[in-house]
Amino acid sequence: MYPLKRNRRLRTNEAIRSLVRETIISPNDFLVPLFVVEGKGVKEEIASMPNYFRYSLDLLEKEVKELWSLGLKSVLLFVKVPDNLKDNKGTEAVNPKGLMQRAIQTVKNACPEMLVMTDVALDPYSSYGHDGIVEDGEIVNDDSVEVLTAMSVSHAEAGADFVAPSDMMDGRILGIREAFEDEGFVNMGIMSYSAKYASAFYGPFRDALDSAPGFGDKKTYQMDYANRFEALKETEMDIDEGADIVMVKPGLCYLDIVREIKNEVDVPVAVYQVSGEYAMVKAAAEKGWLDHDAVMMEQLVAMKRAGANIIASYFAKDAAKLLG
């Protein structure tokens, strides 16, 4: 006897599949990472990230306007700092006329309603390529937090809406939140990279910013990818310290962590589909081994289905065009 309930009735055609679809993705879900460099008229393709670019400020303005026209309303800024401005103190990170500060102002002038988030970590500014200050071969925590805090205030002064500390130093969220309150930036948001794992998927990003560590690795501050419960502890601490949004990074291999955190917290959860994830899809598609757009959308929907409210992705522009 055939069953009274046939589940395939709800899969008969695209109309019914669309009507009952549980997870819907739109341009509103995306945070667009942007890489900024000095110069004029610069649009450099990143070799390990096909069809992704570094922009000088004049072309950043054009790119931001295009993103807005596609319905993409939030950007995350990263800067490639010239070698002569790098040191072990993060001096350039707090320069009010630094590249990051000018990039914030450029985006806000070009598109005032665009939400601007900024990367807060010392690796782009460090002569050692690490996310904090180095002393005797060790990345020291508390001195690094002081610089990260000053850096965050500098971004607020330049007009950013959110800072996004990606350094994984202990206590930096509390330091930043207290500094914002003290300086009158009570509406400044913090999106914390709460569960950032020491991953091999970051390689192309480090090419993009020339920020690979000059010695050792980042495993003394980024999380061990074998750990699950540690992510919950880190995230809960960041929320207690004043984070408004928490992030899991990388994305696809860590969707179990996204769901764990989503089930436990009452703040928005972001996920970062990182450069290595992007590069793999691009490379396989170029070989003709998979359908670029189909795999891209499947991965993005999987991240939202896992519980992410926000997806930081280098595919954001491609996806928005497809969704449009």
Q: Mapping DSSP to helix (H, G, I), strand (E, B) and coil, where does residue 21 land? A: coil
Sign of the alpha-carbon torsion through 160, 272, 216, 37: negative
User: Does residue 96 have a cis peptide bond before it, meaning omega lies within 30 degrees of 0?
Assistant: no
Q: DSSP letters of 257-270? A: HHHHHHHH-SS-EE
State CA 58 to chain mean position distance: 23
Residues known to be catalytic: 196, 249
Cβ-contact 128, 88 below 8 angstroms:
yes
Q: How, if at all, do strands 43-46 and 49-55 pair?
A: antiparallel
Q: What's the Cα-to-Cα distance from 322 to each of 117, 195, 292, 293, 315, rounded to whole Å? A: 25, 30, 12, 8, 11
Counting runs of H as helices and runs of E as strands, what totals does the chain give? 11, 12
Please state, in angstroms and rounded to a whole number, the distance separating the CA atoms of residues 190 and 163. Answer: 5
The first and second tokens of residue 212, run together, are 């690979």
**DSSP letter, residue 223:** B
CA–CA distance, 71 with 25 (Å, rounded to integer): 12
d(C-alpha 233, C-alpha 208), whole Å: 31
Phi, psi of 12, deg, nearest 5 = -60, -40
